[in-house]
Amino acid sequence: MKTVAFIGAGSFGTALSTVVAAKGCKINIYDIDEPHLKRMEDAMENIDYLPGVKLSGDYHFFTDAEDTVKNADIVVFSVPAQHFRSAIKSAAPFIKEDALAVNIAKGIEQHTLKRMSEVAEEYFDMQRYACISGPSHAEEVGLEIPTALAVTSANPDTTHTIGELFSTNRLRLYSNEDMIGMELAGSVKNVMAVGSGIIDGLGYGDNTRAALITRGLAEMTRLGVKLGAKSETFAGLAGVGDMIVTCTSMHSRNFRCGRLIGQGMSPEEATESIGMVVEGMFTAEAVYELSQKAGIEMECVRIFL
């Protein structure tokens, strides 16, 4: 049976670990936050980020990236986007030559404006690298609520292997060939989710939210196509699918953070009050800079800045 390593024991990494643990895989988990990892190991539950989902199966907890990945067949990077570079940089030298890597982080790196695969290619062989994205609250994946995701890689065999590994009768991964589109859609929708929360917090209605989702989707599609993505991707799971899930649900930290801002908190107070990483807040500026460079007007992003 395969060994699957997770770099980052947050909400979504933990939820995905339960999927492969239930299939009999050995799970290695590492997190830089040692007290958090210890609580998780003692309780066999991610009390801090995914309470209510018990961990069962062959779990092993590590405080060192090398030990976590050195015997793994698959390495999943499950850290926030702004931590992805440090995570892959520290783990990549120890990943086996035939092992695959998967990223689930949604965001654009600040300052470099790189997508996650553009960061990854500095450290890892892209033929063995995949990205998973799409509409998925960790809370629902952890409870085995039926979910569909998208997976992509430069190599169709890698896409297929990762798709098969994480698919169950409750979770289905659809293959996609558009890494650029999937990454951009996943990043921009977090910004839109903050905006949708602001709309809710201000007491506006469904009409306003529908306007943001629809216009936001048009803007992200235009940006994506300009940067080499396929427009169909934005009409699929990683695009409109993820917009729906993130822009309409209290499960989304981005949405909750926006709601607090709409109710009158400053962005700093709102982020602090969520107590976990709010990707959309980091991504807004990077997406706006990217759109300016590409010469694409993104009004739904500009209003944040």
Ligand X SMILES: NC(=O)c1ccc[n+]([C@@H]2O[C@H](COP(=O)([O-])OP(=O)(O)OC[C@H]3O[C@@H](n4cnc5c(N)ncnc54)[C@H](O)[C@@H]3O)[C@@H](O)[C@H]2O)c1
**Binding test (CB under 6 A) with ligand X, winner from 4, 5, 29, 49:** 49
Using the rule CB under 6 A, give the single segment among 9-17, 203-211, 227-235, 265-273 that binds ligand X.
9-17
What distances in angstroms separate CA 96 from CA 63, 72, 105, 146, 276, one per listed residue? 19, 7, 22, 33, 32
Alpha carbons 273 and 281: distance in angstroms, whole number: 13
* Of 2-10, 194-202, 229-237, 265-273: span binding ligand X (CB under 6 A): 2-10
Q: Give min distance, CB of 47 to ligand X, in A.
A: 12
Say whether 189 is catalytic: yes
At 265, phi and psi to the nearest 5? -75, 155
Nearer to ligand X, 116 or 260 (CB): 116
If one asks whether residue 80 binds ligand X (CB under 6 A), the answer comes out as: yes
DSSP annotation string for 240-252: IIHHHHHHS-TT-
> Which one of the spans 80-88, 123-131, 175-183, 213-221 is the region binding ligand X (CB under 6 A)?
80-88
User: From CA 237, how far away is CA 24, in angstroms rounded?
Assistant: 28
Rounded Cα distance between 305 and 299, Å, is 10
CA distance linking residue 101 with residue 5, whole number of Å: 9
- Output the six-digit token pair for 66: 């090398």
Binding flag, residue 189, ligand X (CB under 6 A): no
Catalytic residue among 114, 189, 226, 293: 189
Given candidates 3, 4, 5, 8, which one binds ligand X under the rule CB under 6 A?
8
Minimum distance from residue 116 beta carbon to ligand X (Å): 8
CB-nearer residue toward ligand X: 111 or 295:
111
d(CA 73, CA 103): 14
Q: Are 152 and 178 in contact (CB under 8 A)?
A: yes
CB of 300 to ligand X, least distance (A): 19
Instruction: Report the nearest approach of ligand X to the CB of residue 297 (Å).
Output: 25
Residue closer to ligand X by CB (options 39, 226) is: 39
Residue (200 or 279) nearer to ligand X, CB: 279
| Contacts of ligand X in 90-149 (CB under 6 A) | 104-107, 136-138
- Ranges of H-type helices in 137-205: 138-142, 156-166, 179-201
The residue type of 300 is C
Residues 14-43, interacting with ligand X (CB under 6 A)? 30-33, 36
Q: Tell me the two tokens of residue 149.
A: 């995701």
**Among 148, 227, 235, 276, which residue interacts with ligand X (rule: CB under 6 A)?**
276
| C-beta closer to ligand X: residue 13 or 157 | 13
Size of the site for ligand X (CB under 6 A): 30
Beta-carbon contacts of residue 95 (< 8 Å; ≥ 6 apart): 69, 70, 72, 75, 101, 124
CA distance 233 to 240: 9
CB-nearer residue toward ligand X: 62 or 234: 62
Chain position whose Cβ is nearest to ligand X: 10
Asked if 50 and 12 touch (Cβ cutoff 8 Å), the reply is no
User: Annotated active-site positions, please?
Assistant: 189
- Residues of this chain that interact with ligand X (CB under 6 A) are 7-13, 30-33, 36, 49, 78-81, 83, 86-87, 104-107, 136-138, 276-277, 279
